[in-house]
A and B are shown apart, each in its own frame.
Chain A
Amino acid sequence: MEFWGYRRPDGRVGIRNQLLVLSSVVCANRTAEAIAEAVPGAIAIQHQHGCAQLGADRDLTAKTLIGLGKNPNVGAVIVVSLGCETVPAQEVADGIAETGKPVVPLAIQEEGGTIATISRGIQEGRKMAEQIARLRREPFGIEHLILATECGGSDTTSGMAANPAVGAASDLVVEQGGTVILSETPEFMGAEHILAQRGKDEVTGQKVVEIVNRFERELLRMGVDIRGTQPAPGNIAGGLTTIEEKSLGCIYKGGTTEIREVLGYAEAPTEKGLVIMDTPGHDVESVTGMVAGGAQVVVFTTGRGSPTGNAIAPVIKVTANPKTYKKMEDNIDIFAGKILDGEETPGDVGQRIFQMVLDVASGAKPKAEILGHREIAFYRIGPTA
């Protein structure tokens, strides 16, 4: 089994060949956008963060920005900053440059304003576009693939059919030497004892319990009731009663293999096989973290229907809810609902998902990518100063 990807200087393999215009701070968003508009094919990453952030929260934003730039789907990066922010463009550019890919930092205050920065950005962007367009796809084994798994807008069909089908695909990826990321720490609550038993050793299993405990302690400290947020109102309308029920269905996405390691948000896996990433339950923030960790492709299950994609990694959408599939066919790539009627097994659908992952890795486009869905959201862990 193989897929056709792009070889990067650091040995990693991309499945897209993107020119990224990465805003390092909210103040640079418009400038980054204008540069990307003027260089066909370029993608601007805009967000609200990068300044007045403190300590570990600042570091996490820097790590997320660097991780997005390092993702092997990205061929070259222009980092646009203002010049006085707490996450400087140079730090982000230096981090990305470790991969050996072309990176240029531009600061609006140094370049002399919006127009001068856009002008310079277009010049740099044109050169980079020319350079990365020369790359050709080559065949690679599954061991070069990191698959991110996600669920959003879940209902009970997610845990009973769509997630088990993704789990079967995850097992196939792991069997062939690839890597699968299972994330969303709040959605391990009530199922962490099962994951803990699947750690490659006791320490790894215990780490899963620790990240869940840390999250739950935070809820207790804040004095909030998680009900109404987890499960979300849409989850509840779809029949999910408690976070425990949601979690027990959620963890099926990881399949049945042992858990090799537990990663922090936006951290790159050091092991092959199934790994866990400590992310929020918010689907777009979770996907952003896994893509910053190097995932090239995402499989995303939904029960209620979700249109979101990602700016850097293509997102394949799976639903097992027949009503949702009928209403939102524009957004759904794979229907897993026949599992509920006993007409297909999770293994059958898992095989189809696995094949689509390989097709998409080789250049085929899932619906979210065709429709231009490029959602990015950063996880914040501290107050803005």
Chain B
Amino acid sequence: MVSKALVINKKDNVATATKDLEAGEELELEVGGEKVKVVLTGPVETGHKFAVREIKKGNPVTKYGETIGTATRDIAPGEHVHIHNVESKRGRGDRVKGAEA
């Protein structure tokens, strides 16, 4: 069977869909040699991510074994992970007091 989602690094707490996925779909994923079962809480489009583990608010979201941002709220396994619940920490001039703009 062709996999429908990929986990790139064993440290990752997200998977990336390689097919359009529907709510309620159950996926068996390989995370660092271990099989992990995830049930999607909503639809996930090709190329979008979902959590493979619970990610608590304020904790790092990890892909490629590296931090790609911080969870802005608790994220349950199987939940779509994107700009609505993850925030980048880089290039945030909007947070600097006394900036020019």
Contacts and interface: CB of A to CB of B under 8 A. Distances in A.
Contacts of B91: 186, 189, 216, 219, 225-227, 230, 243
A194 B61 CA distance: 18
A321 B93 contact: no
A246 to B, nearest CB: 9
Interface stretch (B2-10, B32-40, B51-59): B2-10
B28 interface: no
Interface in A187-228: 189-191, 194, 216, 219-227
Contacts of A119: none
Given A160-B8, A249-B64, A239 B48 contact: yes
Q: Which of A160, A186, A191 has the most CB of B within 10 A?
A: A160
Contacts of B45: 239
A55 interface: no
A244 B88 contact: yes
A129 to B, nearest CB: 47
A26 interface: no
B59 to A, nearest CB: 15
Contacts of B87: 242
Interface residues of A, number: 37
B2 to A, nearest CB: 5
Given A156-B47, A223-B101, A323-B46, A341 B90 contact: no
Contacts of B2: 341-342
Interface in A231-252: 236, 238-239, 241-245, 248-249
A241 B18 contact: no
A238 B82 CA distance: 11
A374 B1 CA distance: 43
Interface in B79-99: 81-83, 86-96, 99
Interface residues of B, number: 36
Contact of B16 (A160, A189, A191, A227): A160
B69 interface: yes
B47 A223 contact: no
Interface in A156-207: 156-157, 159-160, 186, 189-191, 194
A239 B16 contact: yes
A230 B93 CA distance: 13
B96 A242 contact: no
Contact of A156 (B16, B61, B83, B96): B16
B101 A190 contact: no
Given A243-B90, A244-B68, A248-B68, A238 B101 contact: no
B83 A241 contact: yes
Nearest to B99: A223
Nearest to A215: B91
Contacts of B18: 340-341
A131 B82 CA distance: 57
A248 B3 CA distance: 23
A303 interface: yes
B95 to A, nearest CB: 8
A242 B86 contact: yes
Contact of B68 (A160, A194, A222, A242): A242
Contact of A241 (B3, B69, B94, B96): B69
A155 interface: yes
Contact of A224 (B48, B61, B67, B93): B93
Given A219-B91, A224-B93, A241 B81 contact: yes
Given A241-B88, A248-B63, 10 more contacts: A220-B93, A222-B101, A223-B93, A224-B94, A225-B92, A241-B82, A242-B90, A245-B64, A248-B66, A342-B3
The 4 closest A-B pairs by CB, nearest first: A223-B99, A226-B91, A239-B47, A242-B88
